[in-house]
Amino acid sequence: MIKTINSAENLKGKIKVPGDKSISHRSVMLGSIANGTTHVSGFLTGDDCLSTIDCFRKMGIEIKIDGTDVTIHGKGLHGLKKPNETLDVGNSGTTLRLITGILAAQNFDCHITGDSSIQKRPMDRVSRPLSLMGASITGNSGEKLFAPFKISGRKLKAIDYTLPVASAQVKSAIILAALYADGTTTITEPEPTRNHTEIMLNYFGANIKNDGNKIICGPVEELYAKDITVPADISSAAYFMAAGIISPDSDITIENVGVNPTRTGIIDVFKEMGADITLENEKIICGEETADINVKTSSLKGVEIGGKIIPRLIDEIPIIAVAACFAEGQTVIKDAQELKVKETNRIKTVVEELKKMGANITETDDGMIINGGNPLKGAIVDSHGDHRIAMSCAIAGIMANGNTLIENSQCVDISFPKFFELLDSLR
Ligand code: S3P
């Protein structure tokens, strides 16, 4: 699908964006291995989270979807059944990495795969620690592991493991496997990453502790189903935060957004760039901090982004790059090599597509350099099948002179069904 974006200003309104992708995935996974029924409201019915539901249904879990309400009939820690066919995670790295942690401990073998993008994403970062726990994960014969692969469930042993890269997906895979291990597992993170797995597991009755940069997780007897309200996804809110900040005469409030401190790097960066952002109506729901986020048109200045903050805004870098095009001066993004192993190599795809629109942006080995202040012009751009590239191009498009055509735009459905409709409703 090709989507045409016209320039726009005067974006005003109170909006709701869909539920958090990370929390929605985890609600299905934990709901499936808990005892009892979990009712989830505000679930993200994007393609990625539907892939997670599909995998657990194939393992005998009854899951009902009614709009954004999802009901999961959990069967306990040992209640999953061997699937009759290969599990398919589609485009979802979170599904693949986290589910591998659960499958490593089951009493059956299964095969797992995903789409062409997923088959290029590194899986040895998960198979290495899980193998140390005694798991058997076998795939291509090379040194690095990619999907498709086979997971043969084993009795697992506890480990002490230092993550070589800051990754919540890898951390979560180990935590999920540790639920089934024979002792206490300790994971050391190089930088703090999103902690939704820990929060939700404790909400379900586990006892995961944090000690500085260590996560300590013991095995559990069982998990207890509990109802979950999923906050709106800050990674989806990010596009509308950027739109409200950079487009003239705008004032947007995004309601009930998850503002877990492990996810709010974008707020810190936009504030440092000079944006007018306020958080209102702050609450804690199911252990997760939430707030309404208000943004108003602001003059931005370039900043340097790197180090510890990167995992707190890793998915927002494409849209931060768009905002930086409209900032006075230079923005340098560094220490973001992880972008190379996302749905696309996002250093490359962001730079390539924004250049087509006339941006002064240069690729570096671990990020990019953007010289702001060059007006953007409408162009034909390509999402490369990456949802976050499609949405970032759309926001660049509303600020460009002339129309922008986004090729392969339907991929927004991965994390944000109805993204374009919501953008249109603000005009
Ligand atoms: C996610 C963690 C991040 C993020 C991804 C979702 C999660 O990946 O980029 O979109 O839900 O745990 P890494 O942990 O691999 O950096």
Q: 177 with 101: CB under 8 angstroms?
A: yes
Nearest ligand 1 atom to alpha carbon 342: 9
330 by Cβ neighbours in 10 Å (0-12 / 13-18 / 19+) ranks as: middle
Nearest CA residue ID for atom 5, ligand 1: 94
Mean pLDDT of 339-357: 98
Mean pLDDT of 357-372: 98
Q: pLDDT by residue (tens digit) across 247-272?
A: 999 999 999 999 999 999 999 999 99
pLDDT for position 233 = 99
Choosing from 88, 315, 386, 413, which is the catalytic residue? 315
Strands 380-382 and 404-407: parallel
Active site residue 382: no
- State the helix-helix crossing angle for 93-103 and 47-57, rounded to 10 degrees: 20
Whole-Å CA distances, 243 to 101, 170, 248, 365, 405: 38, 32, 9, 28, 18
Nearest CA residue ID for atom 9, ligand 1: 315
Q: Is the CB of 349 under 6 A from ligand 1?
A: no
pTM for the whole thing?
A: 0.98
Mean pLDDT of 71-97: 98
Helix (H) or strand (E) run with residue 173 in it: helix 168-178
